[in-house]
Amino acid sequence: MRENRGLAAAIAVTSLVFLVTLPFAIPTTIWIVLFVYAIVKAAGSAPEQADPFAIVLAIVVVVTFFTLAIGVAVSLLGRAMTPKRRKRRS
C-alpha cells in the first residue's frame, strides 16, 4: 500500500493549494466578469439598467466552474491511484 503515498500527498497538496486560493480567485473572477459586463453594457445600451438575472447567472457560473475544476483535478489525479486490472492467467 505504500506505492501510492507520493501520489496521495500530491492530491492532498493540490487540493489544499486550490482550496486556499479559492477565497481570492472567486471574488477576483466575479469582479472581472462584472467589469466586462459593465463595459459591454455601457457600450451597447447605456440608458438601460443592468439585468439582475445576468449578474446572478455570471456569479453562479463562476462558482460552478471553480467547483467543477477542483472535482476534475482530484478525479484525474485519483485515477492514477486505482490499480489496473490484470488479465487472469488460465
Residue 10: CA count within 13 A, CB half-sphere = 14
For residue 59, report the phi and psi dihedrals to the nearest 5 degrees.
-65, -40
With a cut of 90, say whether residue 63 has pLDDT above it: yes
Residue 75: CA count within 13 A, CB half-sphere = 6
What pTM did the predictor assign?
0.72
Find where cell 451597447 sits: 44
Instruction: Indicate the pLDDT class of residue 73, thresholds 50, 70 and 90.
Output: confident
Instruction: Tell me the three state secondary structure of residue 85.
Output: coil
The closest of 78, 74, 64 to 22, measured between CA atoms, is 64
With a cut of 70, say whether residue 83 has pLDDT above it: no
| Domain positions in the chain | 2-79
